[in-house]
Every structure is written in C-alpha cells, then in structure tokens.
A and B are shown apart, each in its own frame.
Chain A
Amino acid sequence: MTDSAATPAPKPSSSVKLVLLGEAAVGKSSLVLRFVNNDFQPNKEPTIGAAFLTQKCQLPNRTIKFEIWDTAGQERFASLAPMYYRNAQSALVVYDITKPSSLVKAKHWVAELQRQASPGIVIALVGNKLDLCEDDSTEDSQNDENAEGHEEEAVRKVSTAEAKAYAEEESLLFFETSAKTGHNVSEVFTAIANTIPETSLKGPRAGAGGGTQAAISGGQDSSRVNLTARGGDGGAKEGCAC
C-alpha cells in the first residue's frame, strides 16, 4: 500500500449479469451462498421470489463482478424468469444429480434461454449435490447420511456421461458440483468469466469512485454515463452555457 513505486496498474473490471435457473430444491441458492460467502446452510428455506447478490471473480488480466439473480425454483406463476434473463450475459442452469426430473426441467430452461435470451448468452449446466453420491465422488469423502434432508437413500440417478453429452450437443459449459463441500463451485463461475467474450464485457457499473475517468472504463465502454459523477470535468458549471 505504501510502496507506490510498485503499484501495478489496476486490472480492468467488468460487470457480468448472471441468472440462476432450475427446478426447486436443486441447490441454486446454496451454490451462490457457497460462491459468495463460502458458506453452506444444510436446511435452507426455499427462496421466495428472487434474490440479488454480487461477487467478484479475479482473472489473471481482469476482474469480473458477477451480478447474480437467483430466482425461486418453485416459481409460482412462471413470469419472473423473463425479466431476469433479459440482457443477462450468462446463465447457470442447475439440476440435482439424484433427481432425473430436474434435468428435464433444466433442459426446458436451456431451450427457453436459447429461444428468448440474448443471442450470445453463456450457459453453464450444473449438476449439483455431488456429495450425495458416495460411489463416484472421489474428492468428497465425508457424506452425511441424511444430507440436505433427503429421506430416501440418495444415489446418483443422472450419469455424468448423459448430462455431459447433452451439454456438448447444446454447447453449454458443464460441471458437477457440491454446494455442500464447495467442490467445483468457484470453477463454474471462473469458467463462465473466461467464456464471456471480451467484446461483450461492460465496464464497472456505478463507477469506481475515481472521478470522471470512472465514467469511462478502459475503452470497452466508452459510451457509459456515470449518474453518480455529478459535476463532470472542470467542476459543475450549472447552466454552463453562459
């Protein structure tokens, strides 16, 4: 901090809007909670409506600030999602690897995104609850028997190969994760950050508090106006025409 001579130039920072979609209780909010707070709540209440969170992701040459819109899986009237995926640059479509119907729902979401969302949207398909499948989870050894309140014996019902083949067919990023252990969670977000084309990256929203230059970020977004930078250059000359 004091070593001003060695202060590196700040990395360019960009905001990325991400929407989470998927059937109820597949662990969407838990994935975000793990990513944002590195935390896990075993008996999380279902999300009501929607939630909004932000988290930064450091890439070697830039900082990505995710603006995460977490929608309720038990969306009551199927009317919320369209306002979330509008202009979203990325989507995380989540299913539960112990529940085949959740993959069917995930495929519906992927189809809807491909039909309705921004043409260049980056979609990641994520099979969550890897921790429930002892047989093939090698990294995650400690599994509770009744994890996440599942009553029946939870075992894998969706094979990695099946989901992966589907993801490849539809050009989706694909990961299997455990929000509980944290396995692969940050990898999903890093992969999304790396996949978003540079040209569609926007500058930091709401400015970085650094005077007028904050309104203009690194050439990528030379048209963005910072509403909080009242005053502009050379001081606010109110009615400055005269």
Chain B
Amino acid sequence: MMETLDGTEWDVVILGTGFAESLLALSLSRSGKRILHLDKNDYYGGDEAALSLSEAEAWASRFAEDAPQCRFSKASVTKPAASEAEHGNQLSSSRAYSLALAPHIIYARSNLVPALVSSRSHSQLDFQAVGSWFVVGSSADSSQVQQRLIRVPSGREDVFQDKSFDLKAKRSLMKFLRFVAAYEDQPDVWEGSRQLPFSIFLEQKFGLPASSHEPILALTMSQASAGSTSTEHALPSIARHLRSLGIFGPGFGAVLPKWGGLAEIAQVACRACAVGGGVYVLNKSIKSMTPAHDDSGPSLELSDGEKLSTTWLCGSVDDSSALRLGTNATPSSAYSTSRSISIVSSPLPSLFPPTSEGGVAPAGAVVVVPSSDASEPPVHMFVHTSDAGECPMNQSVIYSSIAMPHDSGLPHLERAVASLLGAVREQPSPQVLWSLRYQQQHADFEHSLMNAQEGVIVLSSLSCDLVLEDSSLDKVKIAWQKITGESENAFMNFDPREGANDEDD
C-alpha cells in the first residue's frame, strides 16, 4: 500500500540522514515547510551511522573495495578463530552492539550543546563523561621494552598529585597551564612561535622537559605528527580542553552521546522533524537533477523513476553525485584516515577512574599512542565501556584512528591496540573478539560549492576530526538561514511541544 512520490512538490528535500543533514531537518522541524527526507541506505545515520554486528559486516562487504576516492574503502572484518577465543567471554548477539562509524568527543563548550538544549532535543539523549586521557609510553630503560599507561594530568590538582614530575617540572607545568587559560591575552608569548612545532615552544618558553610533551600534546587531539603540530593549532585545542573541564560536573570536560555517538543525535533530530510533519523515506536515492530555472526550483528523478520538484535541495557532496552536476567540483584537498573498531573481552576498568568523588562514572577514555618518529602521526583510541550502550557488560569497544592511508596505517592501529591491551596489565590478557577496519577519505570542497547552483545547498560532510568541531553546526545554520531567511537567534530555538510535559526542565 505504498504511496508514490511521483508528482509531489516539496519546500525542502534533504538527501541523507547523516549528522549534518539530520540537524538541518531538526532546525527546520517547526518551520511549517514541507520536508522530504530521503536516504539511499536502509538505515539512518549515513556516514555517522551506528551498526549492529551483522549490519557492520554487511557494511564492510559493501565498502570492501580499494576505492580511495570513496568516502569509505578497504573495509574488512576479522574475528579470531573459535579455538583461539578465550572461553568465558565471547561475542554476544549482533544487536547487543551499536558500533559508531564516526566516534567523536563533544567538549562541554561545543556549540552543539546549547543548540540541543534550546531545541529540546537533549531530553531524548543520554550523554556520558569522557573521563581520563592516557598516553601509552614505553619505558625502554633496559633490554626489555615495557608498555605503560600514563594518565594525563588534566588540572592543577592532578599536576600536584602526579608523581612522575619533579618539583621544577611541576612548576613549569603550572605556569604553562595558567598561560593557556588566557593565551589570547598574551600574544607576546606565542605570536612569534605560531608556526613552531609545539614541543619546541614548550621547551623554549616554559622549559618543560621532553617527558611532559607527549601528555600535553595528547590534549590537543591533533592527528598530525608531533613535528607538524604547530603552536597556533595546539594552543586553542588545549585551551578548549581546559575550559570545558568542570562545566557539567567536576573532573571531566567532554561527553559522548550514548548508543552510538552522533548516530543517536541524528536519529533524535529526524524524529523531531517527523513529529513536525516531515516525510521520511529510506532506500531511495536520486538519479538525476534538473537545475532550477525561471521561477521553479530544482526537479528530481529518483532511482525508481519517480519525479518530484522542490524549492530547495540539500545534501552532502558524497550523498549524491547529482548534486555535483554542472559544478565541476573537485576537492581542494583530500586526505585518508585509517580506522578500526575493536570489541574487547574486558571492561578495562583501569582506564575509567572516577571523574571525582561521587561524580559521574566515565563511559569513555582517550588513549594516545605517540609515534617514536616525530614525523609520523599518533594513533588515537577512544575506549568506551558498556555504559555507552555500544557493547554488552564485561566488554568494551576501542575506536582507533590514524591520519594515514590504510595500508600503512593499519599496522600502526594493530600495534596500538595490542600495546594498550598489554599496558593495562590484566590477567588473563584482554582479547580482541571482533574488529572492523576501514579507510575513510575526507575531501574538502571550496566553500563556494554551497552557492554553486540555485536552490541547491551542499552540506559538507564531517571531517575525520576526533572532536566535534563547531563548524559542523555553523554550516547547518548557514543552510537553515538560506532556506528560512530568519535571523540566527531563532536557530534551534523551540518552545516545548504540546503534550510533552517536560516539567523537569
């Protein structure tokens, strides 16, 4: 009894249900506009989807090819042979997992947080604390190389209690932390060192010993190599980290959305648009687009031949090549990231010390494995407990990434996971029960693409960054303003809906 879309007219057609497209749908959910939201996949979330095990395996075979120009490529799933798997802790059923293709941390100062609150979406989401940052270092003082886990001190008290720094180093570190808190006011200290590698800056200006550089660099979340992480990039990142601490409670400054990261936010956003009357159709892509002419907007032909017209067509560059028709869009830059998702047979409790006495239990930790070669990028790992809703109790999920093409990056990821599992010093040693590896390509397009064609708004896809950047939401706001013509303080600013008595607010 399915209806047809043939001959229908819309105010806004949105292609794809990834993070940016879904937030656009949320922002338009009270606009009274006729919205059609399509996705070529049979699941929500697009490039930011959260998948069960069987969905992830199907996804991997879809993106198994060596197609470097595609958003995802070289995907594969590995499992230890049944005989290798330790008895006791085995994989659970497929739906016990919800694995995020694009795990991100969201700092408390992110512009997303107030937008979720003012759009009343936060009450349908669960956020959890990302507690500690760690660096995996090797103490190679003897012939035996021992991996060890160094917790990054994240505030003044932490520094005082840290036994790995001597008094002089502690003083220097305190001085540095005080500086970062207000670095904008002290340009004389750093302006001259903008392009300087950050570790050289730390040594020259603050006399910080080399042993402290890796923990400090870890707070930048920079995916560049230590040698190419410049002072002007590092300072704002560390300031963001420090300024986010304590906002939602003592002892942490970043959060993650439960149940699969940004996928969950995208779903909540789509639901809000559906409640507002938006029409949702999965499994539908567009075949071609006729550009706007005279007074009529773009018209579309869908994969199964249905034709429809719209005033606005919005979607990511990746979502449909049709959006690129006539624009000759070529990326201004492109880079590849190698990623893996590993399900581990232990909850890895040593990575999740309490955020503070009586405070929230952290569900996420960040582990950085710096390269011994300053010209090679580090491996970043997000470790999530079962509290994050992505795996069953007594297991955990490690999301790893390195800013390298897959062929050279994957061995780094595997070594990093192995060294982390060794460095936690658990008996029996935790095992990887399942893992998905893939390459993610990100292409930056000139901003002019947004105005390439009348009636067409191209939303750039999320970068491979590990931290959700404010620019992601800013771009949605620009698209929303183009469509509605409203002033920006109306963006994501909604009254409570009738019937939804949120007296708790």
Chain B residue, CB-CB nearest to A208: B504
Whole-angstrom CA separation of A82 from B49 in the bound complex: 13
Q: Is the CB of B280 within 8 A of A80?
A: yes
Say yes or no: is A242 at the interface (Cβ < 8 Å to chain B): yes
Q: How far is the CB of B32 from chain A (nearest CB, A)?
A: 13
Q: Which range holds the interface residue count of chain B? A: 35 or more
Q: How far is the CB of A207 from chain B (nearest CB, A)?
A: 6
Whole-angstrom CA separation of A212 from B3 in the bound complex: 50
Q: Is the CB of B505 within 8 A of A209?
A: yes
A36-B499, A76-B3, A228-B122 known; A241+B155 contact, CB < 8 A: yes
- Which of the segments A51-59, A90-98, A154-162, A166-174 contacts the partner chain? A51-59
| Residues of chain A lying within 8 A (CB to CB) of residue B504 | 204-209
Say yes or no: is A222 at the interface (Cβ < 8 Å to chain B): yes
Whole-angstrom CA separation of A67 from B501 in the bound complex: 10
Q: How far is the CB of B156 from chain A (nearest CB, A)?
A: 6
Q: Is the CB of B243 within 8 A of A239?
A: yes
| Residues of chain B lying within 8 A (CB to CB) of residue A78 | 2
Chain A residue, CB-CB nearest to B174: A242
A87-B259, A215-B360 known; A76+B123 contact, CB < 8 A: no
Say yes or no: is B407 at the interface (Cβ < 8 Å to chain A): no
- Which of the segments B79-87, B271-279, B308-316, B473-481 contacts the partner chain? B271-279
Chain B residue, CB-CB nearest to A210: B504
Q: Is the CB of B505 within 8 A of A119?
A: no
Q: Is the CB of B44 within 8 A of A83?
A: yes
Say yes or no: is B363 at the interface (Cβ < 8 Å to chain A): yes
Q: Is the CB of B44 within 8 A of A82?
A: yes
Identify which of residues 130-189 in chain B touch chain A, using a CB-to-CB cut-off of 8 Å. 154-156, 174, 177-178, 180-182
Chain A residue, CB-CB nearest to B96: A119
Say yes or no: is A238 at the interface (Cβ < 8 Å to chain B): yes
A202-B126, A241-B242 known; A79+B280 contact, CB < 8 A: yes
Q: Is the CB of A54 within 8 A of B502?
A: yes
Residue from the set A116, A227, A229, A238 with the largest chain B CB neighbour count within 10 Å:
A227
Q: Which range holds the interface residue count of chain A? A: 35 or more
| Residues of chain B lying within 8 A (CB to CB) of residue A223 | 128-129, 360-363, 385, 387
Q: Is the CB of B259 within 8 A of A242?
A: no
The contact string, 1 if C-beta is below 8 Å from chain B, for chain A 174-210, is 0000000000000000000000000000101111110
Query: Quick one: which of B43, B127, B246, B362 contacts A236, CB cutoff 8 A?
Result: B246
| Residues of chain B lying within 8 A (CB to CB) of residue A86 | 44, 259, 267
Say yes or no: is B224 at the interface (Cβ < 8 Å to chain A): no
Q: Is the CB of A49 within 8 A of B499?
A: no
A86-B267, A225-B360, A231-B247 known; A80+B127 contact, CB < 8 A: no
Number of A-B contacts (CB under 8 A): 168
Q: Is the CB of A233 within 8 A of B128?
A: no
Query: Quick one: which of A216, A228, A238 contacts B117, CB cutoff 8 A?
Result: A228
Identify which of residues 246-280 in chain B touch chain A, using a CB-to-CB cut-off of 8 Å. 246-250, 255, 259, 264, 267, 270-271, 274-280
| Residues of chain A lying within 8 A (CB to CB) of residue B127 | 224-225, 227
A80-B280, A241-B155 known; A212+B249 contact, CB < 8 A: yes
Which secondary structure dominates where chain A touches chain B? loop
Q: Is the CB of B93 within 8 A of A52?
A: no
Q: Is the CB of B500 within 8 A of A54?
A: yes
Say yes or no: is A84 at the interface (Cβ < 8 Å to chain B): yes
Q: How far is the CB of A218 from chain B (nearest CB, A)?
A: 13
Chain B residue, CB-CB nearest to A17: B124
| Residues of chain A lying within 8 A (CB to CB) of residue B117 | 227-228
Whole-angstrom CA separation of A208 from B155 in the bound complex: 29
Q: Is the CB of B275 within 8 A of A241?
A: no
Whole-angstrom CA separation of A241 from B252 in the bound complex: 11
Say yes or no: is A102 at the interface (Cβ < 8 Å to chain B): no
Q: Is the CB of A118 within 8 A of B248?
A: no
Residue from the set A83, A204, A230, A233 with the largest chain B CB neighbour count within 10 Å:
A83
Q: How far is the CB of A43 from chain B (nearest CB, A)?
A: 19
Query: Quick one: which of B126, B242, B267, B497 contacts A242, CB cutoff 8 A?
Result: B242
Query: Quick one: which of B96, B250, B264, B497 contacts A233, CB cutoff 8 A?
Result: B250
Q: Is the CB of B95 within 8 A of A49?
A: no
Whole-angstrom CA separation of A231 from B250 in the bound complex: 9
Q: How far is the CB of A217 from chain B (nearest CB, A)?
A: 11
| Residues of chain A lying within 8 A (CB to CB) of residue B281 | 77, 79
| Residues of chain B lying within 8 A (CB to CB) of residue A1 | none
Q: Give 28 A-B contacts (CB < 8 Å), ordered by A residue.
A: A36-B499, A49-B278, A52-B497, A53-B499, A54-B501, A76-B279, A77-B279, A78-B2, A87-B264, A119-B95, A206-B122, A209-B504, A209-B505, A215-B249, A216-B358, A216-B360, A223-B385, A223-B387, A224-B360, A227-B113, A227-B248, A228-B117, A233-B356, A233-B359, A234-B250, A239-B181, A239-B245, A242-B242
